[in-house]
Structure 1
């Protein structure tokens, strides 16, 4: 039996340079001769380029005894470039735009006021002699910005899209043992345009690694299991095993697959040298334990071949969409969805598994069961997190274009996504201006054909702009399973969705994007000069009537959460909802503009701290066997809107029948709960705001908000801890331990057992978020992200400046 598959992680110890360098050429006059930063430099093991005795003799002649001079003359080799102080050490994932200063340029508004630039990453590494003769593949999960790669003196690859994983065979190009170090140079350039109008970030923002395997090995893309039919008694499975023979001899293989504890043997197959094949069989799984968001059970699936093994996860489930909505495992299932942008406080798009786990856990606690990857392919880490947490996934193709390179990207990502248990939908694209036209029909037909061929089990959706007249192109509709429409609940869209439904009563329809409503965490009054939007209903909007700032950026403010939920209730055939947005993101600073650099759409802020609307959806969607009660506002008047009579708004979200409200000893009575909400006006007075949840007249839960005094302490709570990163909430409390919701004190933060990666606070106008040693509280909270340097959890030291 040959050696097993080996994974070599390359995320640590990169050299990084922001700005131009003496860039290597793409074309070379001699093999492996580019030199410079693409090859070993002074202090690194190995020659600039390998050459034999004849080459050495020739270069010595040309260079008059100086071989490097000869290289420069004969091949134009860069023999001078060296790393200097302008190169910094970084680890991956990395988003270099986070370290750029903010620039007040209206042209940069939607991407968060960050300039475009170019940057380079360089990694030198060795490969053991024992790897020689095996296959070596380089994997890059995601590089944002148009990218170019060089490897060991050769130009390796160009890539346009930042949302597609790359797999490159570097077997012959690599150096082994005493041959010296291998050198990888990566250029990332955002100056050639953007794929998205939001803040896309920049750099190598996902993992990089090598996989080493035998000449005869399994194909990760082609090894997968699909559910053909599902009953309570059994699941009919199709098992596919991809086998590649990169060796030099004909081989006969007999793969096996272990699904849970059930072993499956496949037919003996012979492959010629250089061949590859997919071996397929069918198997019955008795008494299947199905995958659902409420019980995301997964069967480990081990694909085995002599000398190679792959382990994946199988979720036994079926998905279907009918004219009355979505069906999971044969049962109608309402989608409680959110749209999701891939960034996080302080680190931008350089998210780790810990950050994903933290946010998805909060989504689940709110009753969210579906996530739309907006507006691009989901990362492997995001798909893994959805699988494990039990969140159905809508995976989205970036653009409805059929350029060869885009179709190649589509094929690769479909193959990498199709077995994930969370996969439910493919979105062909989002809000295309060419949508519902004859040219778009041709392109969507080609995209849909590719997806259906590679993944026949998941639902094809098109997320469309609406028009009030409900006009659609009949031919265009033939290419999709479900017509998705964005913001059907918004008065701005008229009755477009209803008109389509009336004219096409058998057409499955879905609400693919909703709400787009602005709020600020912990704030209950509008003040655009401070970037504050009222959580009880801001008047600021880009589209709907209200306060509209001249030249305000972007769109949004299309509908309130209440309008969304009323629409879902009245239009069950739409299947549910996808709230825009799960969490605030960098860029799209609607409706404020400069100095705001962050969006305000999210039901959580960019740190993942829940806002008021989070609890509204939780009261509707979360496990109704539990009681949910959330009381707002916080009870320090600095954050409240108080009228001339001293009245202020109080809001309670709950799934109880009634709510009883007090302010100190003043009884404001028992109120019936409507739409999981109680709204009332009370006279503000310092002290205690209290709400009791009642069921059948009995108190089943209570919540309070207390007027806090000045902050005296910072409570540090670990939100998530993993192999790479620890996340901490920093919370201001007074001497009685009450949360000080209006605290904005400056904190000085340091870490033991790790390095501060980022500090943030969720304030959309905060522009001092590049500091690694201090952060201001915003409405009483801040976030610290620590990159661990030990296996144990890191420890924070926090000092608070007295205001």
Structure 2
């Protein structure tokens, strides 16, 4: 009887200790915030009653007006940085008894310090790296209150060449595990052998053990396909003396559904750890089965299929909501890029949010995952060069271990236009960084973005650290590269830097470089309204037009692909102007998410869908000679009509990816028809707009999740009586909202609009403005209303559930 009761007691103890093997709690709610330094806020007894209440993620900089005195980037005025504090009071959860508890931050910009109950947990200078702290020893007993205090220092500026944001701008989680558990980022899944018939899935596991229990463990690995069907399973016993090592299992998957941008098939790998038949930990890992390789002569192969990398570079800000991570905002960007034909993203020039890679896995994008914009030599006075020596090894290792299971990630970039490229110090550093990457993932190539093509300039590739050479801009020198570097694959890591403002059309035929050289830092005699023509004929002095940059890669098989600078306009770097310009002109899509005309050039080249796009608008002075362009595909010629009269047919030449006419303006209708073998493919009309008549609202989605994060993007357009957009309309639109939502931001895509992007009022730019609606956590109806002086208010309904 004693033995029976002893057994029951042991089982009861196991049940208490190992119930709920792993819990992850959303830790974004009920924070308090104070802008300004409060050194005593780290103490438990500090009174924060007057502080602002908010939920995370949060970027305090985006809430301000743009001003010249804010040196947040190295070019003119921007948004403020500063020092701020966050505090959160929480009760120790009841399920933490005999558990290990960590707090996980996906990203804080920057120089964060974290305390719990007055005890300093640590510091982290890098604003883009995910990290976590063990808070187990410092927690109060169950159901007693704890205080997390956090200081963020983004006051020393400029520290970035683009807009960084400020604060806890990514998600925060509380992770609760058993004493025996899978280590942080302790599962690594690779596919060393892949064919249409069978794939080998290699599963590597690292465990952690803070308990005194010393019995062997069992590790079960299951692989499920997208429908949840079990396709592979294996169980392995782990002796006590191997708990500190790597546990490796190989599983075979028959007839795998391969991952690619066209078919992003995903699998779920479930890792379970048992001790004495009791489940002590479980982790689900999403992966994809694919193979890829680079070839010196023929470029990139994905699943043994020659594949041109059709990529864009993206900074991390999300327009009007700033650096604040939001899944729907990222998804919207990727949807637009997908429709353009994009199959790859370069995360310029920093690690992305984890949710961004989740979306790339699911939606089908290859990702060049980039670690650093500088090493020891600075680009800005207060940038990461000050922390590189102490922190680069840990930061890079954390990045690789966090992101290595994503099938979308196909390359690691250890730097961008690094200053050490020009002396011998770069050779050693590059070799060291590559070694760190390969220590944690030897399945993907390492590259870096290079600015020079001359071996005499002491390239960092001399260390043999790089598996692929990524060149920035040198499109005119591509043909010389195989002669100089014939043993190593090549990719255009960054190209173009063409400049455009949506809806602006300065008539010109030749490529203009603004600024003309490095001596002219900012444009002289530019447009008084700080705009750049939307015709594809203006670029920064180091770049070229979209057409020329793409053709240089398109026509050369040895170039694996292209990453265009950039997919979207972003905050900061307003080349060719200084303040009051405050955001970039490089994007194929503007900051508000409205495509510029060149978007359709890429769509005509990168997709198989029929395209016919006609520009510019058709509101001009009588008799003015207008350059009319058309982008098209799946046709051999385009005919242009003005008010029913043919102006002739044109076909693309080998030098251009569009056709054009010079047309004296005459009010009415401009019409283009594309033909293939004499048969009509598509028709496109542009009409002269009359007087502004009414506002039209369009929403990308009218049903949202009531989760406090989901977004709807509402476009306001001013049109004439017939519904034609008025191309020069700049009326002030006042947005108001009622119901279960709030206005998260507004924008219009104009690079010199200095009004805070968080304000509910916005002037139209070229007839358009954007309002971003954010759902609350309550189900119901949202009503967004737009009104302008002299026009009838118009509303749109959105449901949340």
The verdict on a shared fold, with TM-score over 0.5 as the criterion, is yes
Superposition deviation, residue 375 in structure 1: 0.5
Does residue 358 (structure 1) correspond to residue 332 (structure 2)? The answer is: yes
Does residue 613 (structure 1) correspond to residue 610 (structure 2)? The answer is: no
Q: Does the Cα contact within 8 Å between 1:540 and 1:547 map onto a contact in 2?
A: no
Is the partner of 2:743 in helix, strand or coil?
Answer: strand
Q: Distance in 2 between matches of 1:415 and 1:173?
A: 27
Alignment match, 1:666: 645
Does residue 308 (structure 1) correspond to residue 300 (structure 2)? The answer is: no
Q: Distance in 1 between matches of 2:724 and 2:461?
A: 61
**The 10-residue stretch of structure 1 (653-662 or 259-268) with the greater mean CA deviation from structure 2:** 259-268
Does residue 764 (structure 1) correspond to residue 764 (structure 2)? The answer is: no
Give the direction of change, closer, same or farther, for the CA distance of 1:263–1:747 in structure 2 (3 Å limit). same
Is the partner of 2:420 in helix, strand or coil?
Answer: coil
Q: Does the Cα contact within 8 Å between 1:266 and 1:280 map onto a contact in 2?
A: no
Residue among 230, 247, 260 paired with 1:292: 260
**The 10-residue stretch of structure 1 (443-452 or 191-200) with the greater mean CA deviation from structure 2:** 191-200
Q: Does the Cα contact within 8 Å between 1:485 and 1:512 map onto a contact in 2?
A: yes
Q: Does the Cα contact within 8 Å between 2:351 and 2:399 map onto a contact in 1?
A: yes
Q: Distance in 2 between matches of 1:705 and 1:551?
A: 32
Unaligned runs of 5+ in 2: 1-14, 225-229, 274-278, 377-387, 531-538, 792-801
Superposition deviation, residue 432 in structure 1: 0.7
| Aligned pairs (5 A) from 1:163-312 | 163-179=128-144, 181-193=145-157, 196-260=160-224, 261-271=230-240, 276-305=244-273, 306-312=279-285
Q: Distance in 2 between matches of 1:678 and 1:107?
A: 43
Does residue 650 (structure 1) correspond to residue 628 (structure 2)? The answer is: yes
Q: Distance in 1 between matches of 2:604 and 2:343?
A: 14
Q: Distance in 1 between matches of 2:697 and 2:96?
A: 47
Give the direction of change, closer, same or farther, for the CA distance of 1:713–1:253 in structure 2 (3 Å limit). farther
Alignment match, 2:97: 132
Superposition deviation, residue 128 in structure 1: 2.7
Deviations 1:745-779 (A, max 9, x none): 11111223111111111111111124532111111
Give the direction of change, closer, same or farther, for the CA distance of 1:463–1:475 in structure 2 (3 Å limit). closer
Does residue 580 (structure 1) correspond to residue 565 (structure 2)? The answer is: yes
Does residue 424 (structure 1) correspond to residue 410 (structure 2)? The answer is: yes
Superposition deviation, residue 793 in structure 1: 6.7
Superposition deviation, residue 535 in structure 1: 12
Alignment match, 1:76: none
Q: Does the Cα contact within 8 Å between 1:654 and 1:677 map onto a contact in 2?
A: yes
| Aligned pairs (5 A) from 1:61-210 | 81-83=46-48, 85=50, 87-105=51-69, 110=74, 112-179=77-144, 181-193=145-157, 196-210=160-174
Q: Does the Cα contact within 8 Å between 2:170 and 2:324 map onto a contact in 1?
A: yes
Is the partner of 2:132 in helix, strand or coil?
Answer: strand
Deviations 1:114-172 (A, max 9, x none): 34311111111223333222121101100012111111111121111011001111112
Does residue 16 (structure 1) correspond to residue 42 (structure 2)? The answer is: no
Residue among 295, 303, 323 paired with 1:322: 295
Q: Does the Cα contact within 8 Å between 1:463 and 1:484 map onto a contact in 2?
A: yes
Superposition deviation, residue 99 in structure 1: 2.3
Is the partner of 1:572 in helix, strand or coil?
Answer: coil
Alignment match, 2:556: 571
Alignment match, 1:797: 785
Q: Distance in 1 between matches of 2:306 and 2:644?
A: 48
Q: Does the Cα contact within 8 Å between 1:301 and 1:312 map onto a contact in 2?
A: yes
Superposition deviation, residue 629 in structure 1: 1.3
Give the direction of change, closer, same or farther, for the CA distance of 1:633–1:709 in structure 2 (3 Å limit). same
Give the direction of change, closer, same or farther, for the CA distance of 1:536–1:132 in structure 2 (3 Å limit). farther
Is the partner of 1:802 in helix, strand or coil?
Answer: coil
Alignment match, 1:505: 486
Q: Distance in 2 between matches of 1:799 and 1:342?
A: 32
Deviations 1:282-325 (A, max 9, x none): 12211111101011111121112214322121111112112121
Superposition deviation, residue 795 in structure 1: 3.3
Superposition deviation, residue 272 in structure 1: 7.2
Q: Does the Cα contact within 8 Å between 2:74 and 2:158 map onto a contact in 1?
A: no
**The 10-residue stretch of structure 1 (397-406 or 694-703) with the greater mean CA deviation from structure 2:** 397-406
Superposition deviation, residue 570 in structure 1: 3.6
Residue among 704, 718, 726 paired with 1:740: 726
**The 10-residue stretch of structure 1 (356-365 or 662-671) with the greater mean CA deviation from structure 2:** 662-671
Q: Distance in 2 between matches of 1:263 and 1:360?
A: 32
Q: Distance in 2 between matches of 1:545 and 1:249?
A: 68
Alignment match, 1:344: 318
Q: Does the Cα contact within 8 Å between 1:230 and 1:317 map onto a contact in 2?
A: yes
Q: Does the Cα contact within 8 Å between 2:514 and 2:541 map onto a contact in 1?
A: no
Q: Does the Cα contact within 8 Å between 1:400 and 1:428 map onto a contact in 2?
A: no
Is the partner of 1:254 in helix, strand or coil?
Answer: strand
Alignment match, 1:466: 452
Superposition deviation, residue 226 in structure 1: 0.3
Q: Distance in 2 between matches of 1:448 and 1:745?
A: 53
Q: Distance in 2 between matches of 1:669 and 1:515?
A: 32
Q: Distance in 1 between matches of 2:510 and 2:746?
A: 28
Give the direction of change, closer, same or farther, for the CA distance of 1:603–1:422 in structure 2 (3 Å limit). same
Q: Does the Cα contact within 8 Å between 2:234 and 2:251 map onto a contact in 1?
A: no
Is the partner of 1:747 in helix, strand or coil?
Answer: strand
Superposition deviation, residue 791 in structure 1: 4.3
Give the direction of change, closer, same or farther, for the CA distance of 1:328–1:791 in structure 2 (3 Å limit). farther
Deviations 1:455-475 (A, max 9, x none): 111111121012578745486
Q: Does the Cα contact within 8 Å between 2:294 and 2:489 map onto a contact in 1?
A: yes
| Aligned pairs (5 A) from 1:386-535 | 386-398=360-372, 399-400=374-375, 403-435=389-421, 437-466=423-452, 471-473=457-459, 476-489=462-475, 495=477, 497-525=478-506
Does residue 633 (structure 1) correspond to residue 616 (structure 2)? The answer is: yes
Q: Does the Cα contact within 8 Å between 1:337 and 1:371 map onto a contact in 2?
A: yes
Q: Does the Cα contact within 8 Å between 1:725 and 1:785 map onto a contact in 2?
A: no
Q: Distance in 1 between matches of 2:36 and 2:427?
A: 42
Deviations 1:339-396 (A, max 9, x none): 1100122211113000110000111111111100000112201111111110100001
Superposition deviation, residue 503 in structure 1: 2.6
Give the direction of change, closer, same or farther, for the CA distance of 1:13–1:735 in structure 2 (3 Å limit). farther
Number of corresponding residues? 729
Q: Does the Cα contact within 8 Å between 1:469 and 1:499 map onto a contact in 2?
A: no
Superposition deviation, residue 521 in structure 1: 0.9
Is the partner of 1:434 in helix, strand or coil?
Answer: helix
Q: Distance in 2 between matches of 1:704 and 1:634?
A: 10
Does residue 6 (structure 1) correspond to residue 6 (structure 2)? The answer is: no
Give the direction of change, closer, same or farther, for the CA distance of 1:537–1:19 in structure 2 (3 Å limit). farther
Does residue 595 (structure 1) correspond to residue 595 (structure 2)? The answer is: no
Computed over aligned residues only, the root mean square deviation of the Cα atoms, in angstroms, reads 2.7
Is the partner of 1:203 in helix, strand or coil?
Answer: coil
Q: Distance in 2 between matches of 1:603 and 1:431?
A: 22
Q: Does the Cα contact within 8 Å between 2:112 and 2:151 map onto a contact in 1?
A: yes
Q: Distance in 2 between matches of 1:231 and 1:130?
A: 45
Q: Distance in 2 between matches of 1:183 and 1:593?
A: 44
Q: Does the Cα contact within 8 Å between 1:630 and 1:703 map onto a contact in 2?
A: yes
Q: Distance in 2 between matches of 1:728 and 1:212?
A: 40
Superposition deviation, residue 556 in structure 1: 5.5
Give the direction of change, closer, same or farther, for the CA distance of 1:248–1:733 in structure 2 (3 Å limit). farther
Q: Distance in 1 between matches of 2:752 and 2:416?
A: 28
Give the direction of change, closer, same or farther, for the CA distance of 1:798–1:162 in structure 2 (3 Å limit). same
**The 10-residue stretch of structure 1 (479-488 or 275-284) with the greater mean CA deviation from structure 2:** 275-284
Q: Distance in 1 between matches of 2:206 and 2:509?
A: 53
Superposition deviation, residue 586 in structure 1: 0.6
* Structure-2-length-normalised TM-score: 0.86
